[in-house]
Every structure is written in structure tokens, then in C-alpha cells.
């Protein structure tokens, strides 16, 4: 699968002289209408002061730095989707009392041994116990009590004869089959005994856990909370979405898209919008976001040198590192831990497609780690490439694509657009990211690639 070639679009393979050149170009993945002529391969090295960093190393640094957010107590319905952060011990037995498991007649099993449709055994019906009735009753030999499912079992009874096994009489009942002692009876504590753990630390709370928490009498529960994430964007070219952009200006889409992505990943995201350009105001905004957030996410076009006012202010607030990561799109990444509480700050590129790709690669796993999830990363599948795919050598390429099930089994994936530079409308048609490893420069049509389906929710 690894071919050392500068050919990117798979349609024009006449010029081989440029091989090796494009492979070393950090951002060179837009195919030209024709191959670019050239004599040899100049190697464009980045300055030594700013080493290029592997995706995994950047991710490891971020994951090592994200804080474990302190557990909070929430109303059980608000705990949905979060992880339980306490050992919930039941003070109660579940069920709370011996009860009928279905509608029928509570009996003494000894009384109905040998009953059959041809030789039914007759019992006196001494009353009825409905679900919710609190007066305890009892039966003696030769007696039955009509019961509904969930009703208290009378003292003396040790089995329930299902109604359909009887003549369903009201005063006397003819029993057609005698179940053994214990049949169709739910004993107190069968499900949960007092002192038993009901919901354990680390259990994801869904409807079934909420059902159990309510049953043991819990209205509130301690959980790993949703991390609070402030989403900001930086750039003198940016205007808010309500403003018609002047020539050269660009609407702030990233604070919306990244806040949506952060919510989808499980965070409580606050869209704080465009950072001010005035240095003092900028410092104030950043400081206040650091105080109220578990993580700060900033999208912007940051120069590697750090001469930008935003970069300068960030550097004043703590240790902040901007540099190139070996990924495309979005090699320009920043990370630091700022403020008194060393809050993690992740800076992603301002180009909206690169911003959302960077979110998938670095921010979503960080949010899931803060939520306490075991599975930090999206599931990937192998898919057959429907067309040739190109990737710069040494860079992990993320292409938006559409993945479909193949009628013969497995999956087929096609990049959106021309398979190189996803723009917004193209990205919106994608349902996956195609991931092409650093050491692969070309995938032939029919070759296998790794695909990360971008399902919403969960």
C-alpha cells in the first residue's frame, strides 16, 4: 500500500520526476490539474526550534493533562448517560415483600399436589389480595386467596396457581394443576437484599439503572459530571454569524460547530464566541473562562512563532506550546495548562474542516476521559476504497467520506468531493473519516483503508 510517489489524484501518472518532493511537503495534499515539473526533490525542513510531533504524542500529552472532574450529586433523571461515582447500597429489600409473580390464587402447595384437569382440587376462596393492598392476610389448609401480580402473598401460602390453571372461581376455585412450593412467588429480597450494592461505581446510568435507583429510594445520585468546556475562536477576520461579512471577513462557524461537537461528545459546552482583539479585554475573557471551565477550546489560525496577540496572552497565563503535528488537515495545534488551576487549553486550527477533524482526534477522547468512559475512541472499520486515495508521507491524513455497506458484505468508502480538500458543504455530506497512516502515501482503488464512522450521540 505504501508507494513513494508524488502522484496524488490517480489519474495522471506521466511525470515521475517530482517524486519525493511532495511527500515531504507538510500541507501539500491538494492535487494539481497536472503534475508539477521539477528536477529533483528539495527537502523542506521545519526549523529545529519547533519539532514536528506525532499525533499520538500530542494526544498522549492532552490525555495525561485532563483533570478528573470531581463527582457531583444530581437528580436521577439528570444523571442519565453519566457514570455512577458511588457505590449505591440498598437499605431496602427488592421486592419489599413476598408477592405473587402473576394473576392467580395463592395456595399451600401441599393442598394441590396431584391436581389435574380431570381431577381438579377444590379450595375455598377466602378473599382477594390486590397489588397495593396493605392489609396482610393469611390462609389455612384448604383455602386459597385470589391474587394479582405484585400483590402481597398471604401468610401460610407458599405458591401461586396461575389463573389459567384453574376454573377461575370466585367463591370456590377448582385447581387443575398443583405447582410445587415456591412457584410463581417472588420472595422479598430475591432481587436485592438490604446491604446489597444496587448500582456500582463506574456503571453508566441508563433507564434500567434509574429504575433500580428509584426502587431503592434514591432521588439523587453521585456521578462523574459532564465536563464544562468553553468554546472560543480567535481571528481578526472573524465576524459573528448575524453579521454580513465584508470582503476578506469570515463568519465564525467554529464556536458553533465545536460547541455542538463537544455537546455531542457529552460535555456541557458554552459557546463564548469570538475573542476580543484588545489585549486587556482578551486577558479578562480568557481568565474568566479558565475559572469556570474544566477545559478551554480555542479555534484560530496561530502562527508557529507565537507573535499573535492571542498566543502572547495565552503564554502569559501559563505554559502553552504551539507547533506542528503530523496530521492533515490541521497540523497547527496548540496545547497548554493555564491559570491557577492549570486548566487544559486546546488550540485547534481556524479552518473549519481542520477544526472538526482536530476535535475528533484530540478533544473528543479528552471529553470521554473526563466523563470516565472506558472507550475513549470511536470504533473503526476496514473499508474498501472506492477510488484511489493520496496522503502526504509522514502525515496522518483524515479525509471526510461516505461509507456504505457493500452488498457482498463489508464496507465501501468514497471520499467526499475530490478526496483532498473537504469544504463545509462536502463535509456535511460525509458520514465518516477515512484515516490514512503516516507511512502510506497512496491507496489504490479496491485497497483497504481504516474508516471511523461519525455517528452522533452516545
**Contacts to its own copies from residues 17-56, by CB under 8 A:** 18, 21, 24-28, 30, 32-34, 36-42, 44
Given the DSSP bridges, would you call strands 143-147 and 121-129 parallel, antiparallel or unpaired? parallel
Tell me if 381 contacts its own copies by CB under 8 A: no
| Alpha carbon distance 147, 142 (integer Å) | 16
Tell me if 373 contacts its own copies by CB under 8 A: no
- Tell me which stretch binds its own copies (CB under 8 A): 16-24, 319-327, 365-373, 376-384: 16-24
The torsion region of residue 409 among left (phi > 0), alpha (psi -120 to 50) and beta comes to: left
Q: Considering beta carbons, is residue 18 or 362 the nearer one to its own copies?
A: 18
Binds its own copies (CB under 8 A): choice among 140, 142, 180, 305: 180
H or E element, residue 296? strand 295-300
CB 177 within 8 A of CB 116: yes
Q: Could you say which residues in the range 267-286 bind its own copies, by CB under 8 A?
A: 271
Q: Could you say which residues in the range 54-73 bind its own copies, by CB under 8 A?
A: none
Closest approach, Cβ 357 to its own copies, in A, equals 11
Closest approach, Cβ 407 to its own copies, in A, equals 18
H or E element, residue 272? strand 268-274
Mapped onto helix, strand or coil, the DSSP state of residue 398 is: strand
Instruction: Please spell the DSSP secondary structure of 123-136, one letter per residue.
Output: EEEEEEE-TT--S-
| Alpha carbon distance 25, 27 (integer Å) | 6
Candidates 83, 75, 93, 86; CA nearest to 218 is 75
| Alpha carbon distance 449, 411 (integer Å) | 10
Tell me if 235 contacts its own copies by CB under 8 A: yes
Q: What is the largest CA-CA distance in the chain?
A: 106
Cell of residue 32, nine digits: 494539481
| Alpha carbon distance 280, 316 (integer Å) | 12
Closest approach, Cβ 2 to its own copies, in A, equals 22
Binds its own copies (CB under 8 A): choice among 94, 338, 370, 385: 94
Closest approach, Cβ 335 to its own copies, in A, equals 21
Q: Considering beta carbons, is residue 4 or 423 the nearer one to its own copies?
A: 423
For residue 409, what are the contacts with CB-CB under 8 A and spacing of at least 6?
none
Tell me if 249 contacts its own copies by CB under 8 A: yes
Tell me if 136 contacts its own copies by CB under 8 A: yes
Tell me if 119 contacts its own copies by CB under 8 A: yes
Tell me if 426 contacts its own copies by CB under 8 A: yes
Cell of residue 108, nine digits: 399451600
Closest approach, Cβ 361 to its own copies, in A, equals 14
| Alpha carbon distance 321, 315 (integer Å) | 8
CB 162 within 8 A of CB 102: yes
Q: Considering beta carbons, is residue 274 or 290 the nearer one to its own copies?
A: 274
Residue located via cell numbers 476578506 = 248
Mapped onto helix, strand or coil, the DSSP state of residue 38 is: coil
Tell me if 116 contacts its own copies by CB under 8 A: yes
Q: Considering beta carbons, is residue 331 or 388 the nearer one to its own copies?
A: 331
Binds its own copies (CB under 8 A): choice among 11, 13, 211, 288: 211
Tell me if 423 contacts its own copies by CB under 8 A: yes
Q: Considering beta carbons, is residue 301 or 380 the nearer one to its own copies?
A: 301
Tell me if 133 contacts its own copies by CB under 8 A: yes
- Tell me which stretch binds its own copies (CB under 8 A): 65-73, 93-101, 310-318, 379-387: 93-101
Closest approach, Cβ 340 to its own copies, in A, equals 30
Convert 378-398 to b/e letters by CB count within 10 Å (16 or more is b): beeeebbbbbbbbbbbbbbbb
Tell me if 101 contacts its own copies by CB under 8 A: yes
Closest approach, Cβ 344 to its own copies, in A, equals 20
Binds its own copies (CB under 8 A): choice among 72, 74, 102, 448: 102
Closest approach, Cβ 111 to its own copies, in A, equals 15
Tell me if 132 contacts its own copies by CB under 8 A: yes
Q: How many CA atoms lie within 13 A of 366 on its CB side?
A: 30
How many residues of this chain bind its own copies (CB under 8 A)?
A: 125
Binds its own copies (CB under 8 A): choice among 2, 4, 124, 164: 164
Closest approach, Cβ 134 to its own copies, in A, equals 4
H or E element, residue 62? helix 55-65
Q: Could you say which residues in the range 186-205 bind its own copies, by CB under 8 A?
A: 186, 190-192, 196, 198-199, 203-204
| Alpha carbon distance 443, 391 (integer Å) | 8
**Strand ranges (DSSP E) for 40-154?**
72-75, 88-89, 99-100, 104-107, 121-129, 143-147
Amino acid at each position: 500500500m505504501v508507494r513513494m510517489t508524488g502522484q496524488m489524484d490517480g489519474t495522471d501518472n506521466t511525470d515521475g520526476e517530482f517524486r519525493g518532493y511532495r511527500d515531504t511537503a507538510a500541507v501539500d495534499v491538494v492535487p494539481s490539474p497536472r503534475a508539477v515539473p521539477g528536477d529533483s526533490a528539495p527537502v523542506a525542513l521545519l526549523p529545529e526550534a519547533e519539532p514536528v510531533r506525532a499525533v499520538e504524542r500530542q494526544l498522549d500529552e492532552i490525555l495525561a493533562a485532563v483533570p478528573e472532574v470531581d463527582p457531583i450529586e444530581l437528580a436521577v433523571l439528570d444523571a442519565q448517560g453519566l457514570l455512577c461515582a458511588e457505590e449505591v447500597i440498598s437499605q431496602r429489600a427488592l421486592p419489599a415483600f413476598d408477592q405473587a409473580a402473576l394473576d392467580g390464587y395463592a395456595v399451600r402447595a401441599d393442598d394441590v399436589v396431584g391436581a389435574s384437569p380431570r381431577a381438579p382440587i377444590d379450595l375455598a376462596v377466602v378473599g382477594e389480595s390486590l397489588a397495593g393492598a396493605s392489609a396482610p392476610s393469611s390462609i389455612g389448609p384448604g383455602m386459597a386467596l385470589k391474587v394479582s401480580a405484585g400483590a402481597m402473598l398471604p401468610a401460610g401460602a407458599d405458591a401461586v396457581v396461575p389463573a389459567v390453571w384453574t376454573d377461575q372461581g370466585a367463591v370456590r376455585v377448582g385447581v387443575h394443576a398443583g405447582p410445587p412450593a415456591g412457584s410463581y412467588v417472588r420472595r422479598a429480597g430475591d432481587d436485592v437484599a438490604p446491604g446489597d450494592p444496587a448500582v456500582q461505581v463506574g456503571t453508566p446510568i441508563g433507564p434500567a439503572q434509574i429504575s433500580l435507583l428509584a426502587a431503592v429510594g434514591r432521588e439523587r445520585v453521585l456521578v462523574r459530571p459532564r465536563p464544562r468546556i468553553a468554546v472560543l475562536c480567535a481571528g481578526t477576520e472573524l465576524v459573528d454569524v448575524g453579521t454580513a461579512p465584508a470582503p476578506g471577513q469570515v463568519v465564525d462557524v467554529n464556536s458553533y460547530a465545536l460547541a455542538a461537537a463537544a455537546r455531542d461528545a457529552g460535555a456541557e459546552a458554552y459557546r463564548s464566541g469570538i475573542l476580543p482583539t484588545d489585549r486587556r479585554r482578551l486577558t479578562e475573557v480568557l481568565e474568566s473562562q479558565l475559572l469556570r471551565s474544566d477545559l478551554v477550546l480555542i479555534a484560530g489560525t496561530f502562527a508557529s512563532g507565537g507573535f499573535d496577540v492571542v498566543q502572547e496572552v495565552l503564554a502569559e497565563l501559563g505554559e502553552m506550546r504551539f507547533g506542528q503535528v503530523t496530521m492533515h488537515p490541521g497540523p497547527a495545534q496548540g496545547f497548554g495548562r493555564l491559570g491557577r488551576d492549570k486548566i487544559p487549553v486546546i488550540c485547534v486550527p481556524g479552518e473549519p474542516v481542520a477544526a472538526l477533524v482536530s476535535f475528533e482526534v484530540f478533544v473528543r477522547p479528552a471529553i470521554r476521559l473526563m466523563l470516565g468512559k472506558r472507550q475513549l475512541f470511536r470504533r473503526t472499520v476496514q473499508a474498501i476504497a472506492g477510488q484511489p486515495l493520496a496522503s502526504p508521507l509522514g502525515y496522518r491524513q483524515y479525509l471526510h467520506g461516505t461509507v456504505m455497506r457493500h452488498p457482498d458484505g463489508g464496507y465501501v468508502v468514497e471520499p467526499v468531493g475530490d478526496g483532498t480538500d473537504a469544504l463545509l458543504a462536502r463535509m456535511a455530506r460525509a458520514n465518516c473519516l477515512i484515516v490514512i497512516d503516516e507511512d502510506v502515501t497512496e491507496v489504490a482503488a479496491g485497497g483497504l483503508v481504516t474508516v471511523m464512522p461519525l455517528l452522533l450521540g452516545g
